[in-house]
Amino acid sequence: MSERPQSRRPATFRLDDPGVVVVDAEDSGRAARGTVRITPEAEPAQLPAVIEPPVVVRRRFRWGTLFWAASGGLVLLALGLGVANLVQDLFARSESLGYVGAALAATAVLALVVTIGREVFGLARLATIEKLHQRASEVLASDDRAASRAVVGDLIKLAHQNPQLARARATLHRHESEIIDGADMIRLAERELMSPLDAEARRLVSQAAQRVSIVTAISPRAMVDMLFVFVAALRLIRQLARLYGGRPGTLGMIALMRHVIAHLAITGGVAASDSLIQQLLGHGVAAKVSQRLGEGVLNGLLTARLGLAAIEVTRPMPFAALPRPALADLAKDLLRKRDEENEA
């Protein structure tokens, strides 16, 4: 066995003592007797930095995108040519029929342009809300005052059309010059602007969960249950998006559904957590309700879970100053409603 190296006993000394010698780590010489040898540690800035090689992503030519774009162009050309031929045939048969066909074609084109404009506006507004969420998160981490003023200004513009937030906007304008820290400004804006909206969002989610629970409990067909749950989920997501300032169209709803499903996949799946279900069963819920009623409660919990994920996606600010709504609270409201209906 090797001998254990002898360590020097603890001692106190002054740095300006002539007996204290500062040497480099590479110096292997022995210090004189009676002196204290000090080896300074390397500063973090002087340590070698690990440089990761850049990830080179080669963008491939997407033949599938080219195919669908070309196919869509051909379909549009065919439709346009068919409508033009139809109008010409109508004029050939009767001048009055030709004018009616031309008016209908012009109306269809105008409606299509307006629909496309609304879809583009809805997508742009959803992108603005998503960027506001990211910017607010960055300000909470960096505590940048100028950035917080810009974020709060954009939030006030977003909430300008909501008369329910008039007092909150006035409060933010009054305290804007009094708060120094950027993170505190974001938290104040969240408390003032998001508090009434969060309360309304929780009410919407709770109502949707109760509605799904009741319908799926009395519905005799599984297909009807699935259709109703799907329609209720779409309606709930649209209501939450409009509540927080979004105006999603058809394409916006598709994008929102994709974001909500991705958020559910990241935060734990679409089903209720096992601990919550075990807690509910442990309280004797399974013994109090029938099988269909239990399925209705579970479907209501799944709808509430989807609503909470939609709140996270459609909310223009992260949860920092206000508590995040929990599934357990909504489950208590749902079970309380079930108990009241059973007693009635």
What is the number of structural domains in the chain?
Answer: 1
pLDDT of 24: 65
Q: What is the mean pLDDT of residues 41-48?
A: 53
Determine the pLDDT at residue 78.
Answer: 92
Flag the least confident range among 26-35, 243-252, 321-330: 26-35
**Domain presence at residue 164:** no
The answer to whether the beta carbons of residues 278 and 308 sit under 8 Å apart is no
Could you tell me which residue, 161 or 19, shows the higher pLDDT? Answer: 161
Q: Which domain holds residue 273?
A: 195-343
Residue 187 lies in a domain: no
* Exposed e or buried b per residue across 66-81, where buried means at least 16 C-beta atoms within 10 angstroms of its C-beta: eeeeeeeeeeeeeeee
Lowest mean pLDDT among 63-72, 228-237, 271-280, 299-308: 271-280
Asked if the structure places residue 277 within a domain, the reply is: yes
Residue 285 lies in a domain: yes
> Is 212 part of a structural domain of the chain?
yes
**CA pair distance 145, 139, nearest whole angstrom:** 8
Kind and range of the H or E run holding 38: strand 36-38
Per-residue pLDDT tens digits for 285-316: 444 445 556 667 777 778 888 888 888 888 99
Average pLDDT over the chain reads: 77
Q: Give domain status of residue 150, yes or no.
A: no
Q: Per DSSP, what are the bridge partners of residue 22?
A: 38
Q: What is the pLDDT of residue 267?
A: 57
Q: Is the pTM of this model over 0.85?
A: no
- Tens digit of pLDDT for each residue in 106-144? 999 899 899 989 888 888 888 888 899 999 888 888 888
Of 288 and 70, the structure prediction assigns the larger pLDDT to 70
For 186-205, the pLDDT digits (tens) are 888 888 888 889 889 988 98
Asked whether residue 272 is domain-assigned, the answer is yes
* pLDDT at site 273: 46
In a domain, 102, yes or no: no
Ramachandran assignment for 269, one of left (phi > 0), alpha (psi -120 to 50 degrees), beta (any other): left
Identify the pLDDT of residue 31: 58
CA atoms within 13 A on the CB side of 4: 3
Which pairs from 320-329 meet CB under 8 Å and 24+ separation?
320/140, 320/183, 320/186, 320/187, 320/190, 321/187, 321/188, 321/190, 321/191, 322/190, 322/191, 322/194, 322/195, 322/198, 325/198, 325/201, 325/202, 325/205, 327/272, 327/273, 327/276, 327/301, 328/276, 328/279
Query: 136-167: per-residue pLDDT in tens?
Result: 888 888 888 888 888 888 888 888 878 888 88
pLDDT of residue 1: 45
pLDDT of residue 110: 93
